[in-house]
A and B are shown apart, each in its own frame.
Chain A
Amino acid sequence: MHSEFLMGNAAIALGAIAAGVDLVAGYPGTPSTETLENTAKYKPEGLYVEWSVNEKSAMEVAAGAAYAGARTMVTMKQVGLNVASDPLMSLEYIGVKGGMVIMVADDPGPISSQTEQDTRHFAYFSKLPCFDPTSVQEAYDMIQDAFAYSEEYGTPVFFRPTTRICHAYASINIKDADEYKKNSPEGFIKDSKRWVIFPRLSNANHKKIEARNEQLKDVFSAYPRNTILNGDADKGAADTASADQSGTAQKKGIAAGGISFALAMEALHGRTDARVLKVATPHPFPEKLAVEFLTGLDEVLCLEELDPVIERELTYICGKYGLNVKIRGKLTHDTANAGENSLDLVKQYVYSFLAEPKNVSDSSSQAANEAPEPPAIPIRPPVLCAGCPHRASFYAVKVAMRRQKTIFCGDIGCYTLGNAMPLDMCDTCLCMGAGINIAQGVYRIEPDTKAFAFVGDSTFFASAITGIINAVYNQAEMTVCILDNSTTAMTGHQPHPGTGRTMMGEVVAKVSIEAVLRGIGLEFVETVDPLDLEKAVDTVKRAQEIPGVKAIIFKSPCVAITKPKGKAAIDPEKCIGCRKCIREIGCPGIVINDGFVCIDDSLCTGCGLCAQICPVGAIGGEVHD
């Protein structure tokens, strides 16, 4: 054992390694990404790690390895689980031999996601056990428990941290390498009655799953991470009796899971007038423990993010056991039903529940009332980086298609930021790969619309190819723009099939986007450097003269991982102050100082786009040519 300051995701990775994980597969997605990256970083001998092309592939790879007796982990963000749900829902019925942990990071807020969906519901829906850590240390310890339970019960299990666990850091105690568990996977044993899903097998296994989950309710009631804190029951009968006499017996309880448990404990700050139920396994719910917790209470406040999972379980248990306890939370509008729980919010909930209307920060808010109004603080929406080639790609299409009826369907990645003014080049965005098909749908209803779909290189491999085949097969009219910056940029530059590098560090043949498109049957497939504005605009215009499905690959590497080409410079003698550069492309590297348009040297990468836009040729310096 030793102590280290670790990010939650690194702690989960090291916990999995300590549990002897043999294979890790996943697809990048905030806030889950660093988990897989850290398994690769700390990779012990014999561990295989891959970035799969998407979450469905990752889930299936991990399942196959677990069929062969290996311990496997699959990592993704919550919306990634939607992509992997097809194998998941069937795998539930088949089960596994080696321990398999499905690590899905939820994103309350949401901070970096399309949805605030709750993976605990997916656990309920797929009937799989779910582990929900409350701290970085617990994440490290609990993932090892998760592997053990998975293997003991022959089922995949969920491990569901949220952003404030994944991206928190803490000094935690971890095992030394010689304390790691070692596995020797038995290998795949042929047995078609076990591994081939048929209705009869599903029916038989469904009954077993229901029985197992009934059993797990009891097993989890005894799982030490599900626990009652501050209980007066555990002080012994004599104490309880005296507590009754003095009238101080606990009548109120707080039930919490995940980071909300940690926030509740901060809010209680050592006070013991509320009994606390810590829920580590929201599914199957530790029913016996919950009954023990509820017995004798008048009211319970549930603190949890996303959906009211604990609240519904407790409400159900009260009904089932005839307990007259008022369960409060999201369903009773005592707590917010959307968004993250901050410490301030949890304090407010706890203090008002404990009938102590104490202001969270009475002193400072009192001071704030007397203090002057703060000056307007600028809003800082995320924007495409200075020099980002996506800006040039969007601008080229915008210029080429001016005054025509168009729809620009966006997708998931950095290039979603193409929606910001002044580019305003993202009319729709739904989920990974959806833009390709949404463009086709709009075209079907409005055939006179020039339909465009923008998709990144990693997203292309993850989920755009089938959509393009659909367009070709069904004779749609559209232009697919692949914004190829040779990396998975938004999540922190992970490799993908087009990069020629794997997570095991191998250099492999690149999968060619152009060859894939030609293989599908597209005739117009052109690759162009978006930073060559004239040529890029011309390519877009030429594509419009050809019927059917066309593809333009805008190829230029992400500026965050390439050396700057130089710095632009504005000649103050030539600049007429028209600000066309600012109005047209909105690059953060162009600023106004004392009324003059200037280049911010700390941001400019010398992409040269602004120099190609300036009507009087005032922008020069060392720029891309």
Chain B
Amino acid sequence: MIKNIVLCGVGGQGTVLASKLLAAAAMEKGFEVMSAETIGMAQRGGNVFSNIRISDGEAMYAPMIGTGEADLILAFEPGEAVRMLPFLKEDGFVITNTRAVKPTTATLTGSGYDAGPMLEYLQKRVADGHLMQVDGDSAAAALGNPRVLNVVLLGAAVRTGALGLTEDDILRVMGKVIKEKFLDLNRKAFALA
């Protein structure tokens, strides 16, 4: 069996660390992992996504996911969740942060963009009980460090059970991926959502 995960957000939100934690936890369990990342010019405030694929032995060739194939979308920004929604399986899960990141173009042109319509659309399109809206920024800010947003959201994603990984699986590998001095903070963040 292969689990397909899409991580998406805006450059600089920390999607790469979240995908590394997932990969490390899956490898620890003996699974094979592949991922594809957005790196480079698009990182400067552009929309970024990662594809992560975890296989328990089924043949896997490419790191990329097709439309209708994702078991879970982990979105750091609600508009980006909508953008990647075509990749979701019919019964797939969506975990989305609720805070919108406004692009400079929207500010310049005065065109409105906010989270409301994005979240409403997700509510209509995602199967009942499969959508989780997390105010990850507030949760991270409550811990005193907005940079742990990624781990807050990852905690929510793992608890859906859709990844085939448990909370313990992630906690066990945190020490390998995250620096010692940030470990305690990240453990707290992971337990939060």
Q: Which residues of A contact B (CB under 8 A)?
A: 3, 5, 7, 30-31, 111-112, 134-136, 164, 167-171, 259, 261-263, 265-266, 270, 342-344, 347, 360-361, 363-365, 367-368, 371-372, 374-375, 377-385, 414, 417, 421-422, 490-491, 582-583, 586-588, 590-592, 602
The 3 closest A-B CB pairs, nearest first, are A361-B68, A364-B68, A262-B62
Which residues from A are CB-within-8-Å of B117? 375
Residues A582 and B108 in contact, CB atoms below 8 Å apart: yes
Q: Are A5 and B24 CB-contacts (below 8 A) given A168-B36, A378-B113?
A: yes
| Complex alpha-carbon distance, A153 and B51, angstroms | 40
Question: Can you report 15 A-B residue pairs in the complex whose CB atoms are below 8 A from each other?
Answer: A7-B37, A30-B39, A168-B36, A169-B34, A263-B61, A263-B64, A343-B62, A361-B68, A363-B68, A368-B86, A378-B113, A380-B10, A382-B45, A382-B46, A383-B44
In this complex, which of B38, B108, B118 has the most chain A Cβ atoms within 10 angstroms of its Cβ?
B108
| Complex alpha-carbon distance, A379 and B80, angstroms | 10
Which residues from A are CB-within-8-Å of B83? 377
Which residues from A are CB-within-8-Å of B44? 382-385, 414, 417
Of B90, B106, B108, the residue contacting A363 (CB under 8 A) is: B90
Which residues from A are CB-within-8-Å of B23? 5, 169, 171
Interface of B is mostly: mixed
| Complex alpha-carbon distance, A136 and B121, angstroms | 37
CB of B161 within 8 A of chain A? no
In this complex, which of A111, A170, A384, A586 has the most chain B Cβ atoms within 10 angstroms of its Cβ?
A170
| Complex alpha-carbon distance, A336 and B113, angstroms | 34
Residue of A nearest to B118 (CB): A375
| Complex alpha-carbon distance, A586 and B62, angstroms | 39
Chain B positions 28-81 with a Cβ under 8 Å from a chain A Cβ: 31-47, 59, 61-69, 79-80
B100-129 toward A: CB 8 Å interface, digit per residue (1/0)?
Answer: 001111111011010001101100110000
Which residues from A are CB-within-8-Å of B68? 360-361, 363-365
Which residues from B are CB-within-8-Å of A136? 34, 63
- Least CB distance, A418 to chain B, in whole angstroms: 12
| Complex alpha-carbon distance, A265 and B41, angstroms | 30
CB of B85 within 8 A of chain A? yes
Residue of A nearest to B50 (CB): A169
Residue of A nearest to B113 (CB): A378
| Complex alpha-carbon distance, A343 and B124, angstroms | 27
Residue of B nearest to A259 (CB): B62
| Complex alpha-carbon distance, A5 and B103, angstroms | 33
Which residues from B are CB-within-8-Å of A347? 66
| Complex alpha-carbon distance, A602 and B45, angstroms | 13
Which residues from B are CB-within-8-Å of A265? 59, 61-62
Size class of B's contact patch?
35 or more
Residues B104 and A377 in contact, CB atoms below 8 Å apart: no
- Least CB distance, A161 to chain B, in whole angstroms: 13
- Count of A-B residue pairs with CB < 8 Å: 175
CB of B164 within 8 A of chain A? no
Residue of A nearest to B120 (CB): A375
CB of B162 within 8 A of chain A? no
Residue of B nearest to A379 (CB): B105
| Complex alpha-carbon distance, A372 and B82, angstroms | 12
Which residues from A are CB-within-8-Å of B45? 380-383, 385, 588
Residues A378 and B103 in contact, CB atoms below 8 Å apart: yes
CB of B27 within 8 A of chain A? yes
- Least CB distance, A110 to chain B, in whole angstroms: 10
CB of B3 within 8 A of chain A? no
| Complex alpha-carbon distance, A30 and B108, angstroms | 29
Of B36, B69, B103, B106, the residue contacting A164 (CB under 8 A) is: B36
- Least CB distance, B181 to chain A, in whole angstroms: 18
- Least CB distance, A230 to chain B, in whole angstroms: 13
Residues A171 and B32 in contact, CB atoms below 8 Å apart: yes
Chain B positions 116-157 with a Cβ under 8 Å from a chain A Cβ: 117-118, 120-121, 124-125, 146
CB of B188 within 8 A of chain A? no
Residues B85 and A586 in contact, CB atoms below 8 Å apart: no
CB of B187 within 8 A of chain A? no
Residue of B nearest to A3 (CB): B27
Residue of B nearest to A590 (CB): B107
Residues B59 and A270 in contact, CB atoms below 8 Å apart: yes
Residues A171 and B86 in contact, CB atoms below 8 Å apart: no
New A-B contacts (4) at CB < 8 Å, excluding given A342-B64, A365-B68, A377-B82: A112-B41, A375-B117, A375-B120, A591-B102
Which residues from A are CB-within-8-Å of B40? 30-31, 111-112, 490-491
- Least CB distance, B111 to chain A, in whole angstroms: 8
| Complex alpha-carbon distance, A136 and B61, angstroms | 10
Which residues from A are CB-within-8-Å of B106? 378
Q: Are A262 and B59 CB-contacts (below 8 A) given A112-B40, A378-B113, A380-B46?
A: no
Residues B62 and A111 in contact, CB atoms below 8 Å apart: no
- Least CB distance, A390 to chain B, in whole angstroms: 11
Which residues from A are CB-within-8-Å of B35? 168-170
- Least CB distance, B140 to chain A, in whole angstroms: 10
Residues B62 and A167 in contact, CB atoms below 8 Å apart: no
| Complex alpha-carbon distance, A375 and B33, angstroms | 34
Residues A360 and B36 in contact, CB atoms below 8 Å apart: no
Residues B124 and A371 in contact, CB atoms below 8 Å apart: yes
Residue of A nearest to B112 (CB): A592
Residues A364 and B24 in contact, CB atoms below 8 Å apart: no
Q: Are A5 and B10 CB-contacts (below 8 A) given A347-B66, A372-B121, A381-B105?
A: no
Which residues from B are CB-within-8-Å of A602? 146
| Complex alpha-carbon distance, A385 and B46, angstroms | 11
Residues B66 and A262 in contact, CB atoms below 8 Å apart: no
| Complex alpha-carbon distance, A135 and B60, angstroms | 11
Which residues from B are CB-within-8-Å of A112? 40-42
Of A263, A361, A590, the residue contacting B62 (CB under 8 A) is: A263
Residues B61 and A31 in contact, CB atoms below 8 Å apart: no
Which residues from A are CB-within-8-Å of B79? 377-378
- Least CB distance, B78 to chain A, in whole angstroms: 10
Residues B82 and A375 in contact, CB atoms below 8 Å apart: yes
In this complex, which of A111, A263, A375, A380 has the most chain B Cβ atoms within 10 angstroms of its Cβ?
A380
Which residues from B are CB-within-8-Å of A360? 66-68
Residues B37 and A167 in contact, CB atoms below 8 Å apart: yes
| Complex alpha-carbon distance, A382 and B46, angstroms | 5
In this complex, which of A261, A381, A385 has the most chain B Cβ atoms within 10 angstroms of its Cβ?
A381
Residues B41 and A135 in contact, CB atoms below 8 Å apart: no
Of B67, B80, B107, the residue contacting A344 (CB under 8 A) is: B67
Residues B41 and A382 in contact, CB atoms below 8 Å apart: yes
In this complex, which of B46, B65, B68 has the most chain A Cβ atoms within 10 angstroms of its Cβ?
B68
| Complex alpha-carbon distance, A310 and B148, angstroms | 47
- Least CB distance, B61 to chain A, in whole angstroms: 4
Residues B46 and A342 in contact, CB atoms below 8 Å apart: no
Residue of B nearest to A414 (CB): B44
Which residues from B are CB-within-8-Å of A365? 67-68
| Complex alpha-carbon distance, A169 and B102, angstroms | 30
Residues B103 and A379 in contact, CB atoms below 8 Å apart: yes
In this complex, which of B20, B44, B124 has the most chain A Cβ atoms within 10 angstroms of its Cβ?
B44
Of B36, B43, B90, B120, the residue contacting A367 (CB under 8 A) is: B90
Residue of B nearest to A347 (CB): B66
